[in-house]
Structure 1
Amino acid sequence: MNRNEGILFFNHPIAGSRNSHLGFFVALRLLGSAIICIIFLSALIIKASPLLCPLICGRETLPDSPPSSPAAILPASCHSHNDYWRERPLFSALEAGCVGVEADVWPYKDELFVAHGLDTIVPNRTLKSMYLNPLLQQLDGTGRSPSSLPATTPRGLYKSRPTQTLVLLVDFKSHPEKTWSLLMRELEPLRRSMLLTSYVSNQKIIRPITVVVTGDIPAYLLNQDESAESRDVFLDAPLSNVQSGLYDAANSHWASMSLAKLVGSVSSSGFSSLQLAKIRSQVRSAHDHGLQVRFWKLPTWPIGLRNKIWASLREEGVDILNTDDLQNAANALREDATSQ
């Protein structure tokens, strides 16, 4: 075959068709590989987002105060899960009206740092700088009791409900004894200002801030001094173990557990009668011991099912809903309260 014949051959309709088919399959394989790479990279980014957030959205310079005061906002029974991941820790939750915020803490260099892991600690992101000092500043101007409250009762963060407390859930991640000691020290300014909920003389006095601890913390730390006149740090009791008699209003404030662990998966139609019976049993047990009920690991998708679960849990007497979607959860809870 001479050179011209070769050219004529590749320009032949049949040969051109074969080449076009081959090119199509090559392009298809390349596209498939690209899609797989995109999915893989997306999964890595999602998995790493908790670690990257302190560097990306959690800047070293934290806002001193929220752009708008939470005083006029009607509070809702939502808890800001892993609040420190947000671009504006604490303040986003306050503006939504949530009554709980969560911070994971690590003792390091005589400070309690807020981070998802020890390797993600960032300078200035401490419990004091992100939560304790801003709360003290917020309450400094609102902490005086309105005429509707006794003079000894400080007013809370929400003017629309001055007796509403904000739960600061502190999750111990390591070295519980050291963490406990540092926490007691860091709480002293709030303690001196009479802003911490306390248990005194067999009575729980609710104040603007209620400190609840969870995670890697042995119970003996909380109960090591039974002769103390008062207590102002409380446990997040394991909801499934409330009936043991180890937890009550004297040493705990919340009783929590994973909803998925209690009831398993939830169908698109909502809870089954058996699942509702399990929820009612746990809620009744916690309330009998003077504790508020919080469920975490709630379904987040599809949205319709999520909203249905929120409504059902509230109907069953669940006190606090864990959420990452603060504004929608708060709005749904307020609408639910208005309709009742």
Structure 2
Amino acid sequence: MEYGGVVLLVAAILGAVMVGDVPGRVADFCAAAICRVTGGEDCELAGQAADVGPLAYRDPTLDPRPVRPPLDRPGCADPDAAWTEGLHAHNDYENGTPLQDALDNGAISVEADVWVAKPVELGEEGIMEGRQELSVRHDADETTSETLRDLYIDPLIERAEENGGEIYPGRDEPFRLVIEIKEKEDKNRDKWLEAYQIAYREIQDLPEGVEVVFSGDTPSSVAELADAELDGERIGLPPRGATFDIAPEYPDCTLPEHLRFGSDAYDPDEARYFSTLNGEWGEGKCGDQDGDGHISGEEQERLNEVVEQAHASGMKVRFWGTPDGKDRAGHGRFFPCIGYDSCENAPRERAWDALHEAGVDFYNTDHLTQSRDWLRECGEGDF
């Protein structure tokens, strides 16, 4: 009788939800949750509900919060931690030992550029054998045998298995693998779709301690990408733990309206799949807007506003194209630098100071050791 009473109660609640002024998808979510409790083979919505986050589909008139919680300004990196908060290994595959160099320096994020691999193994009838893969390289005409799975997927799986499912034991946030899709949609849409199709398959093997952020030629609408078809197969939504970054709208360097919380066009269904604002630093863009190597008070104020807007919308921030020095390996200067403004690293440090003041989440760098030391000392000292 008690069980029957519970069923009647939840049925009454569900009935009120169905006739009330609540979006249909919220009702579906409630129905799925109830269905999982009461059981039964006819719970068609139960599987769908597993893919719907608890903050999805919020009506801003009922609950005025972004689909992702607003973010606080990050603090300085803990010098005693095994990881270095904020350290992002730009084009990590170009380092001497990809991934391992980043992990040795405590990077919390690594970036790999990928293209659909060219067929190299042909069967007797000229058909490619084995699974299609993504090759890791910067340019289309480069020749490489390195794949996303070889350089990142399998090593991250192995490390997580050794550390109880985490990349850095004790760190609250997941490790970030940034996958930049280099195939351009406007040049060859099928190749672009194929890259996402392969990537979705590959990353499903990653542990929960790793999140994936797709970068580069990302879609402006996840719904349109999900509905697109390749060889009769829908691309579908990204796997759990995978999101996209998006470029701001220039020259104002603002979030697109459908992702900017507070805008009348804010779309929570789309916003839940975009986790990062990925802005360009240089002239006419978001940081050093006049390209003189210095950050004026006006430029700093604008940069602060850009980061605050993204954080208020629940999105993290990184910038690419910041001055980063000429050579990838540098571990400090051999000779002392005389006259700071003439030093090679001066523009980089001015940019880092500006990024730190604005409160960005990731520092894009090719110089892992120098960047690690700068972040762990919160910009103090000579680098």
TM-score class, shorter = 0.5 to 0.7
1:312 pairs with one of 354, 357, 361: 354
The equivalent position to 1:289 in structure 2, one of 301, 313, 316, is 313
Deviation, 1:140, is 0.4
Q: Which of 1 and 2 has higher RCO (CA within 8 Å, sep 6+)? A: 2
Cα separation, 1, equivalents of 2:161 and 2:223 = 28
Matched, 1:278 2:310: no
Residues 1:219 and 1:305: Cα distance change in structure 2 (over 3 Å): closer
What letter matches 1:242 in structure 2?
A: L
| Contact 2:259–2:271, Cα closer than 8 Å, also in 1 | no
Matched, 1:264 2:280: no
The one-character-per-residue Cα deviations of 1:36-86 (angstroms, maximum 9, x if unpaired) are xxxxxxxxxxxxxxxxxxxxxxxxxxxxxxxxxxx9623231211111111
Instruction: Give the TM-score normalised by structure 1.
Output: 0.64
Could you tell me how far apart the structure 2 residues matched to 1:229 and 1:298 are?
30
Output the CA distance in 2 between the equivalents of 1:230 and 1:105. Answer: 18
- Deviation per CA, 1:274-319, whole angstroms, max 9, x where unpaired? 1011101110110111011101111235323322321231122111
Which SS does the other structure have where 1:235 is aligned?
strand
- 1:239-287 CA-partner distances (Å, limit 9, x unpaired): 334141236751112101111122324656x421110111011101101
- In structure 2, C-alpha distance between the alignment counterparts of 1:337 and 1:164, rounded to whole Å: 23
When the two structures are superposed, what TM-score results if normalisation uses the length of structure 2? 0.57
CA distances 1:153-197 after superposition (whole Å, capped 9, x unpaired) = xxx3223x422322111111112210111011111222xx4x1xx
Q: Shift in Å at residue 221 of structure 1?
A: 4.6
Paired position in structure 1 for 2:259: 246
Segment of structure 1 superposing worse, 127-136 or 238-247:
238-247
Q: Alpha carbons of 1:222 and 1:310: their partners in 2 closer, same or farther (altered >3 Å)? A: farther
Alignment of 1:18-97 (within 5 A): 73-97=82-106
- Residue 228 of structure 1 deviates from its aligned partner by 6.7
Q: After TM superposition, give the deviation of residue 338 of structure 1 in Å.
A: 9.4
Query: What is the distance in 2 between the residues matched to 1:139 and 1:106?
Result: 26
Superposition pairs for residues 1-340 of structure 1, below 5 Å?
A: 73-108=82-117, 109=119, 110-123=132-145, 125-144=146-165, 156-159=166-169, 161-174=170-183, 175-190=191-206, 193=207, 195=208, 208-221=209-222, 224=225, 231-239=240-248, 240-246=253-259, 250-260=272-282, 261-262=285-286, 263-265=288-290, 270-300=294-324, 302-336=344-378
In structure 1, the residue matched to 2:31 is none
The CA distance in 1 between the partners of 2:225 and 2:279, in whole Å, is: 25
Matched pairs, number: 240
- In the TM superposition, what is the alpha-carbon distance from 1:217 to its structure 2 partner? 3.4
SS at match of 1:245: helix
The answer to whether the 8 Å contact 1:177/1:221 transfers is no
Residues 119 and 211 (structure 1), Cα distance of their counterparts in 2 relative to 1, 3 Å cut: same
Q: How many angstroms apart in 2 are the aligned matches of 1:264 and 1:292?
A: 21
Query: For residue 277 of structure 1, what is the amino acid of its counterpart?
Result: E
SS at match of 2:324: coil
* Cα distance between partner residues in 1 of 2:148 and 2:359: 31
Cα distance in 2 for residues equivalent to 1:164 and 1:290: 15
- Amino acid in the other structure paired with 2:363: L
Q: Which moved more, 1:130-139 or 1:312-321?
A: 312-321
State the alpha-carbon separation in 2 of the partners of residues 107 and 162 from structure 1.
33
Give how far 1:222 is off. Answer: 5.8
In structure 1, the residue corresponding to 2:302 is in which secondary structure? helix
**Counterparts of 1:249 and 1:81, CA distance in 2:** 25
State whether residues 82 and 102 of structure 1, in contact with CA within 8 Å, keep that contact through their aligned partners in structure 2.
yes
Contact 1:254–1:293 (8 Å) recurs in 2: yes
In the alignment, structure 2 segments of 5+ residues that lack a partner are 1-79, 120-131, 184-190, 228-235, 261-269, 326-343
Whole-Å Cα distance in 2 between the matches of residues 245 and 259 of structure 1? 23
C-alpha distance in 1, partners of 2:115/2:241? 21
Letter in 1 for 2:367: D
The SS at the match of 1:332 is helix
Measure the CA separation in 1 of the matches of 2:103 and 2:153: 14
Taking the aligned partners of 2:215 and 2:105, their CA distance within structure 1 comes to 24
SS for the counterpart of 1:211 is strand
Q: In 2, Cα distance between the equivalents of 1:76 and 1:300?
A: 18
Quote the offset at 1:213 in angstroms: 0.7
Query: Relative to total residues, which structure has the larger helix share, 1 or 2?
Result: 1
**What is the identity percentage for the equivalent residue pairs of Structure 1 and Structure 2?**
28
Query: Aligned partners of 2:136, 2:324: CA distance in 1, in Å?
Result: 25
Q: 2 CA distance for matches of 1:180 and 1:222?
A: 14
- The farther-off stretch of 302-311 and 249-258 is 302-311
Unaligned regions of 5+ residues in structure 1, if any?
1-70, 145-155, 196-207
Would you identify which runs of 4 or more consecutive aligned residues in structure 1 move more than 6 Å? 226-230
Tell me if structure 1 keeps the 8 A contact 2:318–2:360: yes
Paired residue secondary structure (1:98): coil
